[in-house]
Structure 1
Amino acid sequence: MKHIIAPSILSADFANLQRDIEMINQSEADWFHVDVMDGVFVPNISFGFPVLKAVKAHAKKPLDVHLMIVNPEKYIQEFVDGGAAILTVHYEACTHLHRVVQMIKNAGCKACVALNPHTPVGLLKDILTDLDMVLVMSVNPGFGGQQFIHQAINKIIELRQMANEIHPELIIEVDGGVGISNIESLIKAGANAFVAGNAIFASSNPTQMIADLKNVDARSQQI
């Protein structure tokens, strides 16, 4: 399985959003990553259902929707109806995580749980087989352009070892500071999906950067 590249539209040019959506459509990217922030769970506000629906209207690839919000269970059906193919909630935002995961799956969506940098991966052991994906945050959530937290590599290794024992098909996604300088080490650690924002949209040639991230030497992969 070749790794997945999910450009984050949070880093796109919102004055030319349709242009950037079309660029992703025509590129080697696999998903659109859509960050939803509420200003409560994280210290930033991004966008909600109107923007999600606008992206869905033009996107030709699945929407990977990352909810950085409190009480995500209140909005699951609306996000699925708005076009989410994968829906991510944060472990730290869900008191009853198993219930929320089942709500996502019952709504017909793939379920993912995100872990903040301080949250141990072992806390997901009892729910891992219910998940399609785990998102390892390699920055503190809330803002793009942050520096990669290197401890995330050890978390990915631990998570992949745990998944190999009980859920080998699990997708491990990494979000935060991912770029051409570290994607190979993340693949070797066991990750197989990558969110990239600034690395793509701050590049002089975003389409080529997506291709470069997608085509890291396959011999380095362990997936």
Structure 2
Amino acid sequence: MAIISASILAANLSELKEEVRRVEGFIDEIHLDVMDGHFVPNLTFGYPILEALRTFTNMPVDAHLMVTNPAELIKGFIEKGATRITIHQEVCYHLHRNVEYIKSFGVEAFVAINPATSLNTLDEILPYVDGILIMTVNPGFSGQKFIPTMTEKIKKLTDIRKSRNFDFKIAVDGGVGNENAVELVKMGVDVLVMGYGVFRNPNLPNLRNEIKSLL
């Protein structure tokens, strides 16, 4: 079954504990968007926010490192409680080494690609990853619209997974909500990263039930 990964970038951070508690019955994990203001045009979270999360929730946390120096941050985020690390192909000169390093700690290793990055750049890493995250908006800010051409990219990746008999998960991040979440799951998506689609969605319980019905 596909899971919902709630991006707290869209939450009311002044009431983070209450925000997470409000939605935790309808989500499966928390998505932590770590941005450095360099690789992406925004500056967001570091270790303290993950430490704060761990004081009131034991939910899995995906630390999505949208930074130019992911290798320097991997161990720290795992030590603070991340259960998955997602790194970007675009900034990892030694991608295989980074993936193996993440997995050496016993946590999942996902590799993300931006909208303009071809799936061909992942060909040699696919046998080693736990998942691929397709960015369906240009990373940096919550509330952006899903880029329509990314559906073909998702379908292509599901075809590659099937034809080469891989078992990695497929995640999508950006512009995911009531209007497209169910169709994305039908395409083969396993992880739906949603910010506005969780924290600003009055229809979240119904959406969750729709996704669960696709078992």
Structure 1 residue runs of 4 or more that deviate by more than 6 Å after TM superposition: none
Contact 2:127 2:166 in 1 (8 A): no
Letter in 1 for 2:134: V
Aligned residues: 215
Which residue pairs with 1:9 in the alignment? 8
Helix, strand or coil: the match of 2:122? helix
Q: Is the Cα–Cα contact under 8 Å of residues 112 and 132 in structure 1 kept in the other structure?
A: yes
Secondary structure (helix, strand or coil) at the match of 1:58 reads coil
Q: Distance in 2 between matches of 1:24 and 1:218?
A: 16
Within a 5 Å distance, the mapping from 1:93-172 to structure 2 comes to 93-172=91-170
In structure 2, C-alpha distance between the alignment counterparts of 1:18 and 1:167, rounded to whole Å = 41
Q: CA deviation at 1:5?
A: 0.4
Contact 1:21/1:58, CA 8 A, preserved across alignment: no
Name the residue aligned to 1:178: 176
1:88: how far off? 0.1
Q: Structure 2 length normalisation: TM-score?
A: 0.94
Is 1:85 the counterpart of 2:79? The answer is no
Query: Does the residue aligned with 2:127 lie in a helix, a strand or coil?
Result: helix
Match among 200, 206, 210 for residue 212 of structure 1 = 206
CA RMSD of aligned residues (A): 1.5
Aligned to 1:76: 74
Structure 2 letter corresponding to 1:139: V
Q: CA deviation at 1:167?
A: 4.5
Higher helix share: 1
In structure 1, distance between residues paired with 2:135 and 2:206? 22
Q: Give 1:188 shift.
A: 2.2
Deviations 1:15-57 (A, max 9, x none): 10110122233x1211111100000100000110001111122
The within-5 A match list for 1:22-33 is 22-25=21-24, 27-33=25-31
Q: CA contact under 8 A between 2:40 and 2:66: conserved in structure 1?
A: yes
Deviations 1:163-221 (A, max 9, x none): 11334421101100001111122122221110111122223x3xx51x33322266767
Distance in 1, Cα, partners of 2:124 & 2:32: 27
CA deviations on 1:136-156 (whole Å, 9 max, x unpaired) are 000000000101101111111
Deviation at 1:106, TM superposition (A): 1.1
From the superposition, tell whether residues 71 and 217 of structure 1 become closer, same or farther in structure 2 (CA, over 3 Å): closer
Higher mean displacement: 29-38 or 52-61: 52-61
Unaligned runs of 5+ in 2: none
State the alpha-carbon separation in 1 of the partners of residues 89 and 100 from structure 2.
Answer: 14
Q: 1:17 to 1:188 in 2, by over 3 A?
A: same
SS at match of 1:153: helix
- Per the alignment, residue 53 of structure 2 pairs with 55
- Describe the shift of the 1:87–1:167 C-alpha distance in structure 2 as closer, same or farther (beyond 3 A): farther
Amino acid aligned to 2:113? L
Q: C-alpha distance in 2, partners of 1:49/1:5? A: 23
Equivalent residue in structure 1 for 2:34, among 33, 36, 51: 36
Aligned partner of residue 126 in structure 1, secondary structure: coil
